[in-house]
Amino acid sequence: MPDTSTANLAINAERLWSNIMTTAAFGGTPKGGVRRLTLSEEDKQVRDWLAARAQASGYEVGVDQIGNMYVQRPGREPGRAAVAIGSHLDTQPTGGKFDGILGVLAGLEVLETLDEAGIVTEAPLCVVNWTNEEGSRFAPGELGSEVYVGHVTLEAALACRDAEGVTVGEALARIGYAGAEVPGARRFAAMVELHIEQGPLLEAEGLTIGVVTAAKGQQWYNGMVSGRESHAGTTPMTLRRDALMAFAELALAAEQIARAHGPDGVGTIGMASVSPGSRNTVPGEVSFSLEFRHPDRDHFGRMRTAMRAEVERIAATRGVAITLDAIWSMEPLSFSRDVAAQIAQAAAERGLPYRNMTSGAGHDACAVASAVPTAMIFVPCKDGVSHNEAESATPEDCAAGANVLLHAVLALAGVSHND
């Protein structure tokens, strides 16, 4: 039977926008972006804001040993696993106001909307702020959610160090967020993450909602090309073992491989360092990063195999040594069909244009999906720009995403009637 009591329920769009702008001040930059590195003083400020706001509304605030924050609103059946609404409040060093933050603040908005409407869900609801999604101060990213599902041990996570040598454990203690709760002890029946798309598709197609059904696999490498340093004036071209020229060939090969598995395949070399770095010396070493992504397992595997073959070929033909160390990977994943179906239905019922999508980026939802039925909602961001101070989303799109979140969560948690 259709539920008439909640069909027209909507979040408070002005309050959501106001909260986005309020929290953007914690680490706000002159260019209108946000610099809120995980477990920094600015991160403490936004965490304190969330905790104060939650406590003022009477919600339980739990913190686990990796600093994940849980804001729980009780359901009619207290023993039932909660439906989680999770994302992150940390940002890139030159990040924006929306990446991650939208998902947490929309979760808070859902809870407050239900309070005002006097609606009690069957299952409890829990807004989660996952620690260190970005991975820019402490690598790897998605740390809090990876510890929650047990992919990374608590001990290993607490021992990660930033560039100054400070560990995650020390940083947590310093800002007062080394909680007592055991990560993973709090069980969830499902999780929904609302996030800006961080890509251009929704905007280009004039759509408001992305129902995210899958995420691209990712393979990260650290690489090194070792040739021979020699005099730039006296070493004939035929006798050189030039690490940079071999690297240049490798870089173009990586691009070719990604293009050959397009349009979904992507390959990026984001860092490269030439040594010794002298105008008059043939470069002896180049260290570099390389990553590939693809949503299809077969293509993803073939990209990696092809790269290994190219590395061997280039090393042999140019007389250099090339190492390619696989430092992190995530297989392509499918999100929960059931959770995605509730998101699609919520969008359809609100008359919002939507499409199914694959996430090209990693998210906490990707980690959580291995243990909890999970899916994501995307909303457009201007020009697809993210990890940038210019990151921008409209109040209307943020509100639309939060309303889809509200109704998907209501369907997953079940609604009781108070009267």
Q: What is the contact surface with Zn ion in residues (CB under 5 A)?
A: 99-100
Choose between 99 and 291: whose C-beta lies nearer to Zn ion. 99
Nearer to Zn ion, 291 or 364 (CB): 364
| Position with the least CB separation from Zn ion | 100
Nearer to Zn ion, 103 or 332 (CB): 103
- Give the H or E element holding residue 10: none
Which has the closest alpha carbon to 311: 390, 250, 266?
A: 250
Residue 84 CB, shortest distance to Zn ion, in Å, is 16
The type of residue at 140 is: P
Instruction: Give the nearer residue to Zn ion in terms of CB position, either 12 or 392.
Output: 392
**Around Cβ 79, how many Cβ atoms within 10 Å?**
7
Backbone torsion region of residue 277, taken as left when φ is above 0, otherwise alpha when ψ lies between -120 and 50, otherwise beta: left
In sequence order, what are the residues at sequence separation of 6 or more whose Cβ sits closer than 8 angstroms to the Cβ of residue 169? 158, 159, 178
CB 91 to Zn ion: min, Å: 8
Instruction: Residue 361: name the closest of 385, 327, 394 by CA.
Output: 385
Nearest approach, Cβ of 143 to Zn ion (angstroms)? 13
SS3 144: helix
Q: What residues contact residue 398 under an 8 Å CB cut-off, 6+ apart? A: 13, 16, 17, 20, 98, 102, 106, 379
Nearer Cβ to Zn ion (141/217) = 141
Give the shortest CB-205-to-Zn ion separation in angstroms: 22
Burial 285-305 (b: 16+ CB within 10 A, else e): bbbbebbbbbbbeebbebbbe
Task: Decide whether 341 or 385 has the Cβ nearer to Zn ion.
Answer: 385
In whole angstroms, what is the distance from residue 21 CA to residue 198 CA? 19
Give me the least distance between CB of 95 and Zn ion, in Å please: 9
Task: Tell the smallest beta-carbon distance from residue 86 to Zn ion (Å).
Answer: 11
Nearer to Zn ion, 108 or 123 (CB): 108
Nearest-5° Cα angle at 46, 54 to 397: 80
Shortest Å, Cβ 46 to Zn ion = 14
